Amino acid sequence: MKVSRASWIRVAGLAAVLGACVLACSAQSAEPAVRIRAPAQDEQVSAAHSETAVFAGGCFWGVQGVFEHVRGVQQAVAGYSGGAADTANYETVSGGDTGHAESVRVTFDPAQVSYGRLLQIYFSVAHNPTELDRQGPDEGTQYRSALFPLDAAQRAVAQAYIAELDRVHVYPVAIVTRIETFRGFYPAESYHQNFLVRHPYNPYIVYNDLPKIAALKSLFPGLYRDDPVLARVATR
């Protein structure tokens, strides 16, 4: 039986007790990784050493955890994007009607890792881009697969890559990832930040997210960093 992230929050006090058991019983992720090629089209090389991108792919615990282990990422912050500022809080967003998606703002050095390569990781190990308005055990528009390009270059790369992956039939069904207009990003509450790193024995993390870190290390050894870069941001 799949248990949602919201259910795990309600039983968080049991996480330490159940963690070891779930770790022993969970042999694979609910959302297995897919080996895909790097995008044929990427951003042009520039002299900049800092760029920002926003990704939504289900529960932000796992997406943030993956990007925190990517070499060249300077910070990954869990938060909300797609809706208004006054609804950007966990309880309201969980209702599914705010327009927000649980998202991760990634600040990275494009001289070390390009936006296209981050997209490759996003589509390969961070989430399943063929699930509509859900991800694994979590359901609702707040868990949708979506990209929020911050400029025309990012939008062009994302559009071309989705078309490329669909054309070569990497997945058995079409990609449902939406490319949405960026209207702002709002950091999530402090207890959501760096959740995977702080709670590695939480049963939800063990089953749904730790396999993503293992897949990142296996499929992208040159981009994997063992020590995660942790988010340090003013949160509520």
> Average pLDDT for residues 141-164, to the nearest whole number?
98
Given the residues 15, 33, 59, 76, select the one marked as catalytic.
59
pTM for the full model? Answer: 0.89
Q: Could you tell me if 225 and 69 are in contact, meaning their C-beta atoms sit under 8 angstroms apart? A: yes
Task: Give 228's DSSP letter.
Answer: P
What confidence score (pLDDT) does residue 48 get? 86
Kindly report, residue by residue over 188-232, the tens digit of the pLDDT.
Answer: 999 999 999 999 999 999 999 999 999 999 999 999 999 999 998
Domain boundaries, the chain: 5-25+51-219
Give 22's pLDDT tier (boundaries 50, 70, 90).
Answer: very low
Question: Is-contact 20 89, C-beta < 8 A?
Answer: no
- pLDDT on residue 190: 96
What is the structure's pLDDT at 6?
Answer: 61
State the number of CA atoms in the 13 A half-sphere of 72 facing the CB: 21
Distances (CA, A) of 106 to 67, 86, 101, 151, 181: 7, 22, 15, 14, 17
The yes-or-no answer on residue 59 being catalytic is: yes
Residue 14 phi, psi (nearest 5)? -95, -5
One of 3.30.1060.10, 3.40.50.11270, 3.90.1300.10, 3.40.50.10860 is the CATH number of 5-25+51-219, namely: 3.30.1060.10
* Average pLDDT of span 37-61: 95
pLDDT at 18: 34
What pLDDT sits at residue 26?
Answer: 38
pLDDT classification of 31: cutoffs 50, 70, 90? confident
